[in-house]
Copies of this chain bind each other. A is one copy, B any other.
């Protein structure tokens, strides 16, 4: 059930060991299977993954770039620790990026883009109804990636991609909580409605509210997990 691959990323990416390792480790970190702060040693990691050190080291580079691993030469390689401050920084920056993204894409939107967006919403709702949290999260991010795609600004898109694994991390955190309220269906309906509308300012305001809505909930979770 690896549909997320086809949705969130370009399917024409040719596979290498290195990219497989990236996908595997990335998933493990985002899901919390590899706990934050855990030290990793190359040799044992290579053994467990069944790859040699060369592609593994390249994968590590990529994960360091994504901010999922921390690496200090000759010393240590650890799973990135996420603090409360990191989360606040993430939320703040994410709002800024997404608002800017809509500013960039606003005049470029076409009717086929609107169809695309509504389809992404449909995919999200489908995943929600099948009770597959991982898939729902992937599709929620896919929905939010829409404006970045339309903006056609490579620098903006790259910055967004850098945020995605961290968003996934916090989305999973939110979902694994007992409360598990999460964003309501209606919220994304409103998001799409405004994104297809003609009031840029309203869209941008909605983004602030939309993102900040989930902020406090996750913030509580982080404080709790930090105490343990």
A residues apposed to B, CB below 8 Å: 14, 16, 19, 54, 57-58, 61-62, 65, 67, 72-74, 86, 89-90, 92-94, 96, 100, 104, 152-156, 158-159, 162-163, 166
B73 near A153 with CB under 8 A, answer no
Of all chain B residues, the one with the shortest Cβ separation from A88 is B153
A86 near B162 with CB under 8 A, answer no
**Residues on B with beta carbons closer than 8 Å to the beta carbon of A62:** 61, 65
With the chains together, A96 CA to B95 CA distance in Å?
12
CB distance from A70 to the nearest CB of B (A): 11
A–B Cβ pairs within 8 angstroms, 22 of them: A16-B73, A19-B73, A54-B54, A54-B57, A57-B58, A58-B61, A61-B61, A61-B62, A65-B65, A86-B154, A89-B152, A89-B154, A89-B155, A89-B156, A90-B155, A92-B153, A93-B100, A93-B156, A94-B155, A155-B163, A155-B166, A158-B162
Q: Given that A96-B96, A96-B100 are known contacts, is A14 also in contact with B154, CB under 8 Å in the complex?
A: no
The binding surface of chain A is classed by DSSP as: helix
How many chain copies does the complex carry? 2
**Residues on B with beta carbons closer than 8 Å to the beta carbon of A65:** 62, 65
With the chains together, A90 CA to B152 CA distance in Å?
12
CB distance from A150 to the nearest CB of B (A): 13
B153 near A93 with CB under 8 A, answer yes
**Residues on B with beta carbons closer than 8 Å to the beta carbon of A96:** 96, 100
CB distance from A30 to the nearest CB of B (A): 16
B155 near A93 with CB under 8 A, answer yes
CB distance from A204 to the nearest CB of B (A): 13
Partner among B155, B156, B162 whose Cβ is within 8 Å of the Cβ of A155: B162
With the chains together, A62 CA to B65 CA distance in Å?
8
